[in-house]
Amino acid sequence: MNAKIEKVTFDTIRRTNPPYATSRPPIPYSILMIEDEGSMGQVTQLLLESCGYEVCVAADGPQGLRLVRALTPDLVLCDVNMPGMGGIEVLGTLRQSDTTRHIPVIFISGFISEEQIKEARSLGVSGFLSKPCSFEEMKQMISECRHATSAQAGKASPPLAMALSA
């Protein structure tokens, strides 16, 4: 039993060529992830980058809003329940500006109340994912948002999917 065991680190993940890296977007597509759990943001960033997306991670709502204004990403993945400024407030702020109101926002949360869901829908959230979600679910929702945005050329679209657990 001389099996070699390699410690898996973020550098190891970066060096590998995973099977999910086969479908790269033909045109660069930028994603901003606003996530207060550092490891969740890092792992998601690595996985999405392995698929060809340009990904930036913000640690909280205010930092996320600054990065949205600076980078104008194609899509925002945002945690709902964060200390200080939560995802609903981030979405509301994005929808108030002419330069950011068109950006699709997908909420990712371990728990979201019915009241939060109603408010998010009224503000034009693009979709919901529950934590934990599979990477395939996330890629599918990103793809749906990308196609809906390009097809509607900036028009607001209804929420795409709901994958929340009670």
State how many domains the chain has: 1
Assess if residue 2 is contained within a domain.
Answer: no
What single DSSP character describes residue 44? H
Assess if residue 103 is contained within a domain.
Answer: yes
Q: What is the pLDDT of residues 78-117, one digit of tens each?
A: 999 999 999 999 999 999 999 999 999 999 998 889 999 9
CA pair distance 141, 135, nearest whole angstrom: 10
At residue 132, the pLDDT reads 84
Q: What is the pLDDT of residues 109-120, one digit of tens each?
A: 988 899 999 999
Range of the domain at 80: 27-163
Assess if residue 99 is contained within a domain.
Answer: yes
CATH code assigned at 115:
3.40.50.2300
Average pLDDT, the chain: 82
Global pTM?
A: 0.76
CA pair distance 146, 135, nearest whole angstrom: 16
Assess if residue 11 is contained within a domain.
Answer: no
Assess if residue 118 is contained within a domain.
Answer: yes
Assess if residue 54 is contained within a domain.
Answer: yes
Answer for the pair 54, 31: CB distance below 8 angstroms, yes or no.
Answer: yes
Residue with tokens 């045109």: 27
Assess if residue 10 is contained within a domain.
Answer: no
Question: What are the residues whose beta carbons fall under 8 Å from the beta carbon of 156, sequence distance 6 or more?
Answer: 101, 102, 124
